[in-house]
Amino acid sequence: MKRALILSGGGARGAFQVGVWQYLREINWTPDLICGTSIGAVNAAAIGSGMSVERLIDVWKTHNRSEIYRFKALKVLSSALYGRPFKAVLDTAPMRTMLTRHLDLGALRRSPIEIIISAVHLATGRLHLYNQDVIEIDHLMASSAMPILFPWQPIGGELYWDGGVMANSPLFVALEKKVEEIIVVLLSPVGHRPLPPPTTLREGLERLLEHFLIGSCQTTMPVFNGQPVHACGDWRPARSQVQKITESHWKPRISVIAPTQMLGFTSLLNFSARQVNRLIQAGYHNARRQLGKRG
């Protein structure tokens, strides 16, 4: 397998991935494998279903917050005050309707690109992977079910939630398949450049969130002597991992594309046209700068 695209989770920040994909199509860079988690899983399924980049951009630009989720403030408040069964903060029924309307699962089954998404089994905490042969709307809803905010989702009678809990950037799938060239799209600027320490509680909490978003990529990124790793910071895997990879004489080319600015908590749920436009443009321009021309 020659090429893989890794799409991380990050809620509404996923518009950044659309801009990256726009640039990759422009230079005719086509992956053999796309691995996605959470919103990355949704974008991966859209691409795998044959949705054109123009239509994907249009879907992102024309669906506002109310078509993704609804607030359930009263139910959450009654749960907290009166000990009633837990209710997620948001109702994602509109998202299910939107995905059902736009995704062609039949075309996804026939995709020449292998599509793999992840979700976490709620009872055991184990990460489960699914490919396009079995992916249904339920799997996409589970993969993108942000804990507490979105409700967990049943798959085959078992409960699952966001794959980002265990592997927000499922890079390990491409590494296990020994893919030659890998592009990882992160949805956090942390690791792109050194940042000063937080000075307020809010900044500290935001930094914690950003570290969570890049954590699984950070711990699985291999390092090779003399091999550049673009925009990743100083990646240091376990010695045993480096030794295993080096002994196999397999040295993948790995590039990382990431935002360059802190986006804040609210960006995760902000599906406004203004943010979507800004992130699509940022994804496109960052991909062009960080990747350069390649075929």
Distance CA(209)–CA(131), nearest Å, equals 28
| Mean pLDDT within 114-141 | 97
Does 231 score more than 60 pLDDT?
Answer: no
Q: Are 97 and 141 in contact, with CB atoms under 8 Å apart?
A: no
Please report which confidence band the pLDDT of residue 234 belongs to, taking 50, 70 and 90 as the band edges.
very low
Q: What are the tens digits of pLDDT across the range 135-169? A: 999 999 999 999 989 999 999 999 999 999 999 99
Task: Say whether pLDDT at 73 is over 90.
Answer: no
Exposed, middle or buried: residue 182 (CB in 10 Å: 0-12, 13-18, 19+)?
Answer: buried
Are the beta carbons of 132 and 48 closer than 8 angstroms?
Answer: yes
| Number of DSSP helices (H) and strands (E) in the chain, helices first | 12, 10
What is the distance between the alpha carbons of residues 51 and 36, in angstroms, rounded to a whole number?
Answer: 16
First to last CA, the chain: 16
Contact 155, 142 (CB under 8 A): yes
Residue 91 near residue 69, CB atoms below 8 Å: yes
Contact 34, 4 (CB under 8 A): yes
- pLDDT number for residue 192: 65
pLDDT tens, 5-32? Answer: 999 999 999 999 999 999 999 999 999 9
